[in-house]
Amino acid sequence: MPSIRIIDSITAPGSASRPNEDSAGGNATCAFVIDGATGLGGTSIVGLHGSDAAWLARFAQSTFEELVRNGRSVADVVRELNQRAANVVHEAASALPIEAWNLPIASFQMVRIEGDALVTHGLGDCRLFLVDADGAVIETSAIKAAYANERDGARKAIALSGGFATHQALADAPVVREELRRRRAAYNQAGGSVWTLGTEPAAADHLATEQLTATLPARGLLCSDGFAALVDQYRRYGIADLVRAAGDTGLAPLLQELRHIERIEDPDGQQFPRFKVSDDATAVLFEIVA
């Protein structure tokens, strides 16, 4: 039976003035990364950890570490997690109406040992990069090529809002915020295409699951999209190169390089369109051995 070992992990907020809305963790059979979606200007419902997204990221982390055990499906865990979160949110709201766009949501990607198999599960736009013993590269996300849609949307938002010279986060611009609210209100709805961690147990029915065929030992990275930007948006690394660099130098220098790109090389977002100067960035470096 294969085993998983976490070698290194790192997480950092995109701005010192905002809470970190990412988290990561693992246990004897899995490793995962979670990316809470920054709120869109609504009133905080739960009122913990600086934002509802930060609360959900930490709530999901502790729930995964508690419930992801041998013999229990990840879909079942996601269903219970979202039901628990819904109970907290609706109790905190005290029967007041909650706009659909203001409900806390989060993406995640997980690697798990299931018997003799290596499996990944996810919702949203977090990323898995894996390199096996033969040098074969595996990369996936629950929403395929989400980074391309993000880039296109950010390019339009910069044009509409005046860019980072006016707003450090483009979602603060009213014209951008209203469009983002409209889109987010459609998440976790019957017939919709985007499902997440949050308050809808039915998201478990839309879990993206893939069995991975890899020659062991294998090394990989689980990343929030903010960290995966080194590959997906900024093209500073190929997947194998990023995994190798993480193993050789650790994750901290890679985070420093990421922030240098965002704050020194392209602070106005013209070269690399994005919704924030810097997003929260989280990565877990892990190894799978036979």
Q: Please write the tens of the pLDDT for every residue from 273-288.
A: 999 999 999 999 999 9
Closest CA to 233 of 263, 271, 183, 277: 271
Domain that holds residue 232: 3-144+193-265+278-289
Q: Is residue 204 part of a domain?
A: yes
Residue 183: CA atoms inside 13 Å, Cβ hemisphere, count?
A: 13
171 has pLDDT over 90: no
The confidence score (pLDDT) of residue 232 equals: 97
The confidence score (pLDDT) of residue 249 equals: 96
Q: Which amino acid is at 106?
A: A
Euclidean distance between CA atoms 70 and 3, whole angstroms: 13
Average of pLDDT values for 97-113? Answer: 96
Q: Is residue 170 part of a domain?
A: no
User: Residue 117: how many CB atoms within 10 A of its CB?
Assistant: 12
The confidence score (pLDDT) of residue 253 equals: 99
E strand or H helix at 33: strand 30-36
Average of pLDDT values for 266-278? Answer: 93
Q: Is residue 161 part of a domain?
A: no
User: Residue 268: how many CB atoms within 10 A of its CB?
Assistant: 12
The confidence score (pLDDT) of residue 204 equals: 99
Euclidean distance between CA atoms 197 and 84, whole angstroms: 11
Q: Please write the tens of the pLDDT for every residue from 107-155.
A: 999 999 999 999 999 999 999 999 999 999 999 999 988 878 888 888 8
* CATH number (domain holding residue 252): 3.60.40.10
Euclidean distance between CA atoms 5 and 165, whole angstroms: 43
Judged by phi (left if over 0) then psi (alpha if -120 to 50, else beta), residue 135 lies in left
Residue 284: beta bridge partners? 9, 222
Whose tokens are 């950010």? That residue is 154
Q: Is residue 37 part of a domain?
A: yes
174 has pLDDT over 90: no
**Pairing mode, strands 3-12 and 30-36:** unpaired
161 has pLDDT over 90: no
Average of pLDDT values for 94-118? Answer: 94
User: Residue 65: how many CB atoms within 10 A of its CB?
Assistant: 14
Comparing 94 with 284, the larger pLDDT belongs to 284
Q: Is residue 165 part of a domain?
A: no
Q: What percent of the chain has pLDDT over 90?
A: 84
The confidence score (pLDDT) of residue 147 equals: 79
- When divided into structural domains, the chain yields a total of 1
The confidence score (pLDDT) of residue 167 equals: 76
Closest CA to 255 of 227, 223, 232, 225: 227
Q: Give the pTM.
A: 0.96
The confidence score (pLDDT) of residue 71 equals: 83
Average pLDDT, whole number, for the chain?
95
The confidence score (pLDDT) of residue 199 equals: 98
Q: Is residue 260 part of a domain?
A: yes
pLDDT band at 74; cut points 50, 70, 90:
very high
Q: Please write the tens of the pLDDT for every residue from 216-240.
A: 999 999 999 999 999 999 999 999 9
pLDDT band at 27; cut points 50, 70, 90:
very high
Rg (CA), the chain: 18
Cβ distance 52 to 45 under 8 Å? Answer: yes
User: Residue 280: how many CB atoms within 10 A of its CB?
Assistant: 26
Cβ distance 227 to 255 under 8 Å? Answer: yes
Average of pLDDT values for 195-199? Answer: 98
Euclidean distance between CA atoms 227 and 213, whole angstroms: 25
